[in-house]
Chain A
């Protein structure tokens, strides 16, 4: 007798199942099952994975679902054909849409309405005290029977719960009475009995208890695994029909996910052209707009080739859909640009989706779509991050929520989360859990290291710890929740809910499907990525400002190209705020690479990535570029691939091509290789490719060393590498933002500040940089500022930049807009501000920001004026109020400039009055500290001292424990390098300093200057000098210090440093 398991809970029933769908299917195949079902709770999220696994193992998957109803016992449902499946997905959609994310609310009536064509199994409850089923249950089963007729059966399980025989008897009795079938199942929750421990743990996580307090919420035994057919037959020897019934259902379920037919949306063609005619019309029209009547031959050939190909694979509708979205954005003046592999398409360029000019670059259409990879094309488009939501809502509106939805991302249980959950469930102390999870930060995904665990004072041989580690390994990679993808949309022609359940996303007005990107790839669905990019917002705002203040009509396309002044600026690494090349790593590369042409920018974008760095490709490239090393190729065939990058592979395409040409991979295999790299950390299945690549290359006569280098680089590319087309798209934005910064630093800084948060830098650095370029920056003022930063009249070459209220901490946009609208002829008194509804809290914030200067008050006077508690809002006695103010003119201590600067930082995180370090110059000089801007005049190898506020401390994973620090003084910034041994030695100083002084050797390489730290000092205490002595409470005075019998309480000192840290604590830290 054959047996099919029909009741299977995988880990996509979050925190219930303890095995992956793949594991269930794999085990079922190993046990020789002809078929297996997957029935997760109110979801189909796991069935695509089960489907792929079933294909691989050559058994049949029965897609199903366990319907948990609000008003009835649970039902297992198995659609027997495509229409029935669509009814099921619509049913789940109904349940999902009526409640919040993560829940599904279904009633019996809903199921009856969607029941046609499906098989049902009702899951009975436990017996009551009289060893009978409650009548509530039997009555509901009768109702089910009336609704579903012969399609209904009752599940019978033998899980060794003691009353099995009695329960089976009652089920059998009920079945006879109602004339329905009895079906054997084993209520599978895990593929093998050993997983019971993990199942207990996930139960604890779900119930928010520990294993010690879980009690009867855990199962008594480990029987809910897949058992052999023989064993199942034995268990049901008294009810052989129950085993036969599984086969009847399995055979009736002829539905497979392969039958799902995805159709592109069709209604985008006006004027009754076919989609393909429409596409070619739009493409040629676009081409003429761009190139004029004389389209270059190369472009022409490309278009013809691509159009032919698109017609063959029938993707025209897809291109039109993307075109429509881009058109909408253009019409609404939302900047957008295609990224990624789509930039390899000339058609995309002509449609205005991408911006890589095919007449200037050799595009590789095959990287975008090819017949070899039988999968839909993937077009990613970036939009302004502040306005992307408009685009997304347009899509929803145009296609309707039943036809468009965001793709899901399955949030996986990562190492740190897994150990937290497992540790908590096992009852470890919070501290131990923190220590264990702290290890992971150091060790990423490499697993646990005995030495490290011991170093944390934890004994890895302790049975509990050992168990925690072991279960954590198993738990990693478990799906935990369905989130929404950052912007991937699925749009269909018919109802999307016929294909897949739709659910509400956490964000308002968003809906998403249950499947992620890989799932829909398997099923051949089309996806459009609507992504958000901050730099586009910044550029659009800059264009607006340039129009207002300089009368320029700029677009991404009309910025003058190949301007030497721009490249000269980039070569000086004067790139704060510029897209992509503003990071410290990029900035130290720029003077070495000295980009002169656009293609150099492309390389610059691609080269400073973990991929090429880990693959050790950067230095060979630089040497070759500088002519220090001959450009040679391991073989002729590779010269074609690597010619543009001087023989050093830098782009994803190149690495893939090497695998194809040199190691004999098929294009599909090469792509698989690239993909498996991205996921190998979770699955650990990469060594197979490694062997194949290295064997293949050595067999073709390449050195083993070279082969291994190529593999290492591929490893990096998987997750971090750039395809060339993508680098080109990004380089365009690099150039545009550089051009703006070069010619209109006022416009650029203003737009950048108004687009924050984005990029690497804090407002303080952007402002300092703008002033360095000759832009006058003016402080926030109640009579002059708006919410956004604005440009005022020209002072010298550029417009002055007026800081906006958005720079002040704690102010809200609505309040400030009220303030701006109520300004009239200007505010003359604090009372006038109160009259437009400014509360005391707002006025205090404004006073802290020193925004009352136009009224003639400094911050302290203003604070005194605004901080009365008893003034009445609609005071009848305005005159009296004024009188009191006069009467109260009290002498407050005067603030020094340095004190003002400290308070500026407190309120705005920046100061336009002065740099804090400038007040300490004398003190630093006596410590023989060199200002940052003088470093360039000092010889390489000299030992110097530098000091400044810490801006960034980073220990990138690629740098083997080396710490990079950037500090800033009033003259500029200095870059420090701390090697691991020094880092360990000066750990405390490095982590705790706000003002850091470092002594070390100066290292110069062209214009790149580093200080290799040898000694570090925490001189944060000097910042104390910026404020008057009185602020130093607690009498640090010597008498009591010397007094040995009276120990100092440290409470005072602590609080005070705390204040300093808060004010100057803007450094970006390791984490």
Chain B
């Protein structure tokens, strides 16, 4: 394993990026090591870029460890370039980032001085001069080209910038010439600025406090129009929405809904809210309405004829029906199989209607449709050591076992918990009802075994 980043205390002890972890450990035995999570770099850079929008509207991410800011026209707001640079540096330092900020006329030179420069602030008109003193690394070249330049003894830009272009092109390729031109400002590439994601949130201030149900409905309807229009445009759908009202007495009230699949269907969302609207108490009146969608997911826009299809989980009418029911009575769950032998863990609730099972329902094991959670204690009469019971008492009622199958022995999942195994039996009583029973652990001479009712077959 290779070290990809080290903090200052580690570097002070001689740990360097690119070291093999084992060697670093040999040097500093107590080294704390965190696994590199590749996406985090990217996310972090984006967040920093968004934060930097306060310094200029055009901020671009420059992986793996840089940000490019187009400062054109901005520094005077901070009272000059030096102040501007220091503001950026201080701002980031306050947030715990150790940064070097370089400034020059071309992004390439700025990039170079930030990393290799002595003088980080290249004054206007000094761009080429600054470039001359930079090492070859400051031109963003392929490793191979850089290496070859160094082997030829050409360590600084100054040493080769005046060589015949044709000779340079023959040896180091067109990309090399292009980088040189970019640095000199003879060519340019536009930056790709970062666009911050705006929250899915709409507001509606009212001139007069709204008191009546129709008024609230109109407000909701107006906010929904705006939100759904945006969602549709971005091909997104909401999974949850909150409708808030800020009252004149300084309190706020809210109702929330959730859906089973991402939707931007205005009427449907409205109908979900409509059920709960009567619970809103406007008090002395509401002066600000806010509609938020805290959870959104991408949603491929529906074609019209989809509305005509029927049946199955794909049917939007089904999911909308479930939404309506769930928002009215709550707690509708869908279960998916989970690969566990232990019955309590063999199912898990699905996160959405669309979620596909990762594994199929095990067909070769008989499992009841209804399971008791937790299992209920029963009294049985059973021959020893592991034969099915002959009769059992459940909720005070005695059942005679007419037919039985088993046992199926299921051990604890030892990496999760310790304890006794269970011996499961499928039994049918004389009335033809079928039950799923188990005995905890082996039959024991000393104590009577504990038996439980765990489920009912149809």
User: 4 closest pairs, A vs B, by CB?
Assistant: A215-B339, A162-B408, A1033-B135, A160-B409
When C-beta atoms are compared, the residue in chain B nearest to A204 turns out to be: B415
| Interface contact A1039-B29, CB-CB below 8 Å | no
When C-beta atoms are compared, the residue in chain A nearest to B34 turns out to be: A431
| Interface contact B116-A1035, CB-CB below 8 Å | yes
What are some 29 contacts across the A-B interface (CB < 8 A)?
A: A126-B364, A160-B408, A160-B409, A160-B423, A162-B366, A197-B414, A211-B415, A212-B415, A215-B338, A215-B339, A215-B359, A216-B362, A220-B408, A220-B410, A221-B409, A430-B35, A457-B30, A860-B153, A863-B148, A903-B151, A991-B26, A1030-B153, A1033-B135, A1049-B115, A1052-B116, A1052-B137, A1054-B16, A1058-B18, A1071-B22
When C-beta atoms are compared, the residue in chain B nearest to A1057 turns out to be: B16
Contacts of A1035 in B (CB 8 A): 116-118
| Whole-angstrom CA separation of A648 from B171 in the bound complex | 70
When C-beta atoms are compared, the residue in chain A nearest to B115 turns out to be: A1049
| Interface contact B414-A863, CB-CB below 8 Å | no
CB A411 to nearest CB in B, in angstroms, measures 23
Contacts of B376 in A (CB 8 A): none
CB B224 to nearest CB in A, in angstroms, measures 42
| Whole-angstrom CA separation of A256 from B338 in the bound complex | 48
Interface size on B, residues (CB 8 A): 70
* Residues in chain B within 8 A of chain A (CB atoms): 1, 11, 13-14, 16-18, 21-23, 25-30, 32-35, 86, 89, 98, 100, 115-118, 120, 135-137, 148, 150-156, 159, 163-164, 167, 170-173, 338-341, 359, 362-366, 405-411, 414-415, 421, 423-424
| Interface contact B27-A988, CB-CB below 8 Å | yes
Question: Chain A 977-992 against B: per-residue CB contact (8 Å), 1 yes, 0 no?
Answer: 0000000000110011
* Residue A855 at the chain B interface, CB threshold 8 Å: no
CB B428 to nearest CB in A, in angstroms, measures 14
| Whole-angstrom CA separation of A844 from B151 in the bound complex | 10
| Whole-angstrom CA separation of A45 from B23 in the bound complex | 40
| Whole-angstrom CA separation of A216 from B1 in the bound complex | 33
CB A420 to nearest CB in B, in angstroms, measures 13
Contacts of A893 in B (CB 8 A): 153-154, 159
* Residue A223 at the chain B interface, CB threshold 8 Å: yes
Interface Cβ pair total, 8 Å cutoff = 160
| Interface contact B411-A221, CB-CB below 8 Å | yes
| Interface contact B405-A166, CB-CB below 8 Å | yes
Contacts of B152 in A (CB 8 A): 860, 863-864, 867, 892
Contacts of B338 in A (CB 8 A): 215
| Interface contact A434-B151, CB-CB below 8 Å | no
Q: Which of B98, B362, B411 contacts A222 (CB 8 A)?
A: B411
How many A residues touch the partner, as a band?
35 or more
Contacts of B405 in A (CB 8 A): 162-163, 165-166
| Interface contact B154-A221, CB-CB below 8 Å | no
* Residue A387 at the chain B interface, CB threshold 8 Å: no
| Interface contact B23-A991, CB-CB below 8 Å | yes
| Whole-angstrom CA separation of A467 from B150 in the bound complex | 54
| Interface contact A431-B35, CB-CB below 8 Å | yes
Contacts of A223 in B (CB 8 A): 409
* Residue A474 at the chain B interface, CB threshold 8 Å: no
Q: Which of A222, A888, A892, A1030 contacts B156 (CB 8 A)?
A: A1030
Q: A197-B414, A1070-B26 are in contact. List 15 more A-B contacts (CB 8 A).
A: A160-B407, A160-B423, A162-B408, A165-B405, A211-B415, A429-B35, A431-B34, A434-B1, A863-B148, A892-B154, A894-B153, A1028-B155, A1033-B137, A1035-B117, A1052-B115
| Whole-angstrom CA separation of A892 from B137 in the bound complex | 19
Interface residues of A in 860-877 (CB under 8 A from B): 860, 863-864, 867-870
Q: Which of A429, A438, A863 contacts B151 (CB 8 A)?
A: A863
Interface residues of A in 446-483 (CB under 8 A from B): 455-457, 464, 467
| Interface contact A434-B155, CB-CB below 8 Å | no
CB A41 to nearest CB in B, in angstroms, measures 23
Q: Which of A163, A430, A888, A1031 contacts B155 (CB 8 A)?
A: A1031
| Interface contact A870-B411, CB-CB below 8 Å | no
| Whole-angstrom CA separation of A903 from B153 in the bound complex | 11
| Interface contact B411-A220, CB-CB below 8 Å | yes
| Interface contact A220-B18, CB-CB below 8 Å | no
| Interface contact A1040-B339, CB-CB below 8 Å | no
Contacts of A895 in B (CB 8 A): 153
| Interface contact B155-A1030, CB-CB below 8 Å | yes
Contacts of A271 in B (CB 8 A): none
Q: Which of B14, B27, B171, B362 contacts A869 (CB 8 A)?
A: B171
* Residue A1037 at the chain B interface, CB threshold 8 Å: yes
| Whole-angstrom CA separation of A959 from B331 in the bound complex | 70
| Whole-angstrom CA separation of A1046 from B409 in the bound complex | 69
Q: Which of A438, A1028, A1040 contacts B22 (CB 8 A)?
A: A438
Contacts of A903 in B (CB 8 A): 151
| Whole-angstrom CA separation of A859 from B150 in the bound complex | 12
Question: Chain A 164-195 against B: per-residue CB contact (8 Å), 1 yes, 0 no?
Answer: 01100000000000000000000000000000
| Interface contact A1046-B341, CB-CB below 8 Å | no
When C-beta atoms are compared, the residue in chain B nearest to A197 turns out to be: B414
Question: Chain A 1025-1057 against B: per-residue CB contact (8 Å), 1 yes, 0 no?
Answer: 000101101110101100001110111101001
Interface centre among B28, B32, B170 (most CB of A within 10 A): B170
Contact A1033 to B116, CB < 8 A, known contacts A160-B407, A220-B410, A888-B164: yes
CB A657 to nearest CB in B, in angstroms, measures 44
* Residue A879 at the chain B interface, CB threshold 8 Å: no
CB B170 to nearest CB in A, in angstroms, measures 5
CB B131 to nearest CB in A, in angstroms, measures 14
Contacts of A1057 in B (CB 8 A): 16
